[in-house]
Structure 1
Amino acid sequence: MEFFEKSVAVRLKTHLDRYLVAEDDKVTVRQSHRAAETRRARWMIEHVESNSHVIRLKSCYGRYLTATNTPFLLGMTGKKVLQTLPENSKDLAIEWQPVRDGFQVMLKASDGTYLRANGSMPPWRNTVTHDSSSTTSTHNWILWNVEAVEIPEDEEFSDYLSLISSFSSVSDELSGLEFGSPARSFQVTTSSVMDLFHNAKAVRLKSHHNKYLHAEEDEESVSQDRNGAAKNNRWTVEFVTDSQDDSITIIRLKSCYNKYLTASNHPFLLGMTGRKVLQTVPRRLDSSVEWEPIREGNQVKLRTRYGQYLRANGGLPPWRNSVTHDVPHRTTTQEWVLWDVDVVDIVVQSPAPRPPPALIPNSDYFSSESSSPTANWSKSPTYSRQESTDSYHSSPPKMEDGRSIYYTVLSDDFGEIDENAQGFCINFKGNDVNELTRKLEEETGIKGITVCTRFPSDGKLYPLRLQLPPNNVTMKVVVVQNSSEDATVDV
């Protein structure tokens, strides 16, 4: 269990150097080289309170790694492993017991079988099942390397929402609330490689050796060069829009000679693993000229569609200043695949049309609503003070300390909220949910409320039960007035 005690999320690597990946269909689980650096290879850890020896693993789609009873192939022993959302939070099929084996772990299901990464020929290749290791030759198939994953700060709130939506003792009334279409009132902005290439028309790529990716004058070779001002170090960026996975960014890089940066199949040196990177103009723009930028801090790794990385080599000649594509196996060469991105030319965007002025509610509107069931709380001194035109339609004030909390109010009697409303804004310091609840009661003048958040994927409301996310992340919440029949909401 020590592999999982101090980690929030992990990646699980098989004996085939592939990773356990959640497929986009939100059902299938498989092994993959290509998706190793994506969110699909990341599994959130949930500890089971009733049994400290087992854990649950949740995919980026909020679904649990599940040992099903469905045979993978009729007549064979292995059974399917899927992503599921079981109705019962105590379903043993989603619980796994880590069993240490040296520096690796085996993940044991409740029926005594183990999570297994299958090899061999199709249909077994890249599949994942749960089975017993009956032979010595397949024992390695149930061994997994555990790699702790740090969640970027800008993704913390998104993963926090995923946590609070799962198997909390939420009342049926709240967990079933669906008002109108799926929520669009709250969207989490995730940082990605697009931030580094935002509006980029041309870039320079600086290697770990403080040299730039350089297109040689022979219009074929690629090397490294210290002169950052040289035109040969400028690469035009083309975004590939027909990628099979919209969540993955693919680019092409074109040199000053209008030739593409190409991952060739030619060995750089016979007997060595690195292969040549060239400038070419292929007859058809195929995968050899496509690169997937993978962000790592403020740098990127450029990966080919086949799992190799653009690498700036050091050392003695003939390696010095050369550029190849390879998979770095040694710790000392891990930084050779990291590149700084300098944007040297941007795409000028057309100015967006100015939005029409906001409509100011007139007195007739408020008088027509005076008889509504919500009049008692909507006209309270504290609440009506915030309904002024200035606070509702102007930009929210910048908070020097604390976080901005946007909120809208939903009443059990009223039963609706405006999905497109910006909501009201308060400044809140701290991470305690109870303290936030008390402050919102003071702001709205409503007693007996539950503070909820709307989960982006299904549009449902869930009460906040954990601490608020760190780093003063801006939040949008819904204030739910508890039923007059029940003094409190069962959370």
Structure 2
Amino acid sequence: MEFFEKSVAVRLKTHHHKYLVAGDDQITVRQSLSAAETRRARWLIEHVDSNSHVIRLKSCYGNYLTASNTPFLKGKKVIQSLPENARDLAIEWQPVRDGFQVKLKTSSGTYLRANGAMPPWRNTVTHDGGFTHNWILFDVEAVEVPEDEEFVDYLAMVTSFSSVSDEISGLEFGSPASIHSSSFSPRTPVFSTKKKPSVMDFFRNAKAVRLKNHHHKYLYADEDQESVSQDRTAASKNNRWAVEFVTDSQDDNVTIIRLKSCYNKYLTASNQPFLLGMTGRKVLQTAPARLDSSVEWEPVREGGQVKLRTRYGQFLRANGGLPPWRNSVTHDVPHRTATQEWVLWDVDVVDIVVQSPAPRPPPPLVYHSDSFTSTDSSSPTVSSANLQTFAVQESSAAKMEEGRAIYYHVVSDEYGEVDENAQGFCINFKGNDVHELTIKLEEETGLRGISVCTRSPLNGNLYPLRLQLPPNNVAMKVVVVPNSSSQDE
């Protein structure tokens, strides 16, 4: 019993060097070696009573390891279930020590058994009274549950039955607490207020990703710009897929993405059969005239990996085995247990979207000399004394924010004449690129197709800015010259 005393979760390793795994259908239980590092091989421990040596084992899907009455060859099936009765004996197991291993005994006296030999026995899990001795022995490996998962999984455990959930409904989580129940008593609950990771965590701020499959290969856009395959070269540009989020999804709680290859074509779930007589269909690169559901994928979290589901329920699958299956990519619903991992993908973010900072208020408006004058009596007159004040204001404005102060004025006509009643304005601008400054001034003024000019101090003529702005964020005065046909109404 000490195998389960101090652990929150365990993995059960069979005599065949495989692990007890919860199936994706949330019903079956099987053995797997490749899924050993996934959440499906992890079983949360629930103690039925603090004074008993009986436990329940809960899968990552919130269902219990259950000794069913459904026959399977000479034994009976072991499945995942969530019974209505908290004291259902079918979900209770008594660990029996056998050297450095354990046997898990049901209430009816049968034992959990990991079957071997040829199909249909291979990789199945049953419970039976007549058995091959080694097949009922399990190595118990303690598993650390990540803090961001443990709180949610623990709550799922204790709220499975209404009799327990009533007892914790008044607790304020985030502070130390101890929960005792007549039906179970977990040994080491750890409360955490961290949010459970969502599928968006894989793609948050992702501009481009690589998708690595179970065969340790990457989703690869072939050079024919049409087919899709697998490749081991991580640094290849063909393994890079740009991420687009579909914002017009009918369900705001569902994340839908598009993946675009280096050839500017979308990853597409086609209707073309991969091989005649087989269920899988081709995955291609296409550039449809109208974006439809065939280029949309829904990421589904599976532990530390994702599955990419089409809008019709199939999954992106990296095939293995012999040619022509080897290195091919299809979309399908995997029915065989041996191919369950073929739809799992690791997401490597290779480029991120840099979030622009929140806009800051512009510096205060400043009246200045040259063309920035006004004859209105309410406007200040510019004198040599005011020029010194303007210089101080200009320096302060430049220091207020990161970037430089750009003082601009919009001329009244194409000859550069200044409207005597107009005012000069100031914006903050970061960078040295004249084209970016032009775009920002278009946004500020509401004009399109403008020219940004500077006035010559020698003859007063206007000259368009062509080169980079002066370095060191020096404040500047510019004149905006609109095209007569481009002003917004």
Aligning the two structures, in what range does the TM-score lie when normalised by the shorter sequence?
0.3 to 0.5
TM-score normalized with structure 1 length? 0.40
Higher relative contact order, chain-length normalized (CA < 8 Å, sep 6+): 1
TM-score normalized with structure 2 length? 0.40
